[in-house]
Amino acid sequence: MVNKALIALGIFSSIALSFPTYTVKPLPDKPPEPPDNPTTPEKVELGKFLYFDPRLSGDGSTSCATCHDPNHAWGKRQVFSPAYPGNKHFRNSPTILNAAYNLFMFWDGRTKGLEEQAKKPIESPFEMNLTHDLMVERIKKIPKYVEMFKKAFPDEEDPITVENVVKAIAAFERTIVCNDSPFDLYMRGDKTAMTEKQIKGLQLFIGKAGCVQCHNGPNFTDEKLHITGVPKNKLEDDTLVAITRNFVVRTAGLNPKEIDRDLGAYFSTKDPKLKGAFKTPSLRNVALTPPYMHNGVFKTLDEVIEFYNKGGGDVENKSPLLRPLNLTQDEKEALKAFLEALTCKTIPYVEEPELPPYEGEE
């Protein structure tokens, strides 16, 4: 089977062909958008305000930007995400940069699309802790928002609804994208955009190291669940972290007494075959978003590469796609250089807007 992307790369070698059905690609100019939520400037502007507004949380402390921070490449560079005051989160906060290109959301892929995703943190008791209905009542008392919702949804009589809140936020997220990484430029024909080392890393990525088996397509994810055996992070035993995890486990109808770590998609599906399964994350801009994995257990890309070099973690049900790689020191460095070539030259940045007051407030 002939692989067009590989021919275009000029590395149509036997190594590159070891995974002939998988490819990596440059990102298209615009992310896809659902037919019922076309992006408009008015929606994006409203979504920006809502994204930064902590009044979308119970005690007015926490906005989307608290955990997906423009100053941290739209993620948060700490092991576990921030959480609603009084709690600790049990998962690392992924970046929303280029999330618009993902089909499934969250570390366990449990939700489809940005709109559905945005509903979840608002009412999560350990994230923003605000019921959707109370949120709507609050927004109705912010005159500037009333005006902005009318402009963003001009055909609707009563536009301030949960559905429209998440449509606006999703429209904003669809503007937090970038596709000018050395890899994208290289794939679009600028053969000088990547260094020799990065090109060698790309060959390893799609060849000997086998990364492309899971990290493929334009966003470097197959959108599927895999068990890689990422080791437990000792910090998962922290009392407040364990409380949050136990809450999630119990809500899922499982028994916290039998579970001492994050088992990923098992929590959202109760399927024992998915114990420890997580969705392949995108690798775009990954150099900017340490620490790594759902539990932030690896501090550097070197540690991640070492993990894969050993053939992944030590669990019984591990993916058959992982095996010891026997990479030389040079090869490990080339692989890392390639991952760094996935960093955009211009990372979108948005200043926190000045938030409008409630009615009767200054």
Residues at the interface with ligand HEC (CB under 6 A): 62, 64, 66-68, 81-83, 89, 91, 93-94, 96, 99, 102, 105-108, 114, 117-118, 121-122, 127-128, 169, 209-211, 213-215, 226, 228, 230, 278, 280-281, 283, 286, 289, 292-294, 301, 304-305, 308, 319, 321-322, 335
Distance separating alpha carbons of residues 172 and 105, to the nearest angstrom: 16
**266 token code pair:** 């098992």
Contact indicator for 230, 293 with CB cutoff of 8 Å? yes
In angstroms, give the least distance from the CB of 239 to ligand HEC. 18
Taking the least distance from each CB to ligand HEC, the nearer of 67 and 152 is 67
In angstroms, give the least distance from the CB of 321 to ligand HEC. 4
End-to-end CA distance of the chain: 66
Taking the least distance from each CB to ligand HEC, the nearer of 48 and 68 is 68
Q: Which residue has the tokens 């921070």?
A: 69
Residues marked active site are found at 127
User: Amino acid letter at 162?
Assistant: V
Taking the least distance from each CB to ligand HEC, the nearer of 198 and 289 is 289
Buried b (16+ CB within 10 A) or exposed e, 49-64: bbbbbbbbbbeeebbb
Query: Which is nearest to 152 in space by CA: 32, 41, 36, 34?
Result: 41
In angstroms, give the least distance from the CB of 335 to ligand HEC. 6
In angstroms, give the least distance from the CB of 107 to ligand HEC. 3
H or E stretch covering 279: strand 277-279
In angstroms, give the least distance from the CB of 362 to ligand HEC. 26
Taking the least distance from each CB to ligand HEC, the nearer of 192 and 326 is 326
Beta bridge partners, 227, equal 277
In angstroms, give the least distance from the CB of 360 to ligand HEC. 26
**Residue 15: strand, helix, or coil:** coil
CB atoms within 10 A of CB 269: 15
Alpha-helical (H) ranges within the chain are 4-9, 41-52, 64-67, 114-123, 132-140, 143-152, 162-173, 182-187, 196-206, 239-251, 265-269, 301-309, 329-340
Taking the least distance from each CB to ligand HEC, the nearer of 186 and 278 is 278
Contact indicator for 176, 74 with CB cutoff of 8 Å? yes
Taking the least distance from each CB to ligand HEC, the nearer of 138 and 155 is 138
CB atoms within 10 A of CB 33: 16
Taking the least distance from each CB to ligand HEC, the nearer of 190 and 302 is 302
In angstroms, give the least distance from the CB of 193 to ligand HEC. 20
Q: If you compute the radius of gyration of the chain from its CA atoms, what whole number of angstroms results?
A: 21
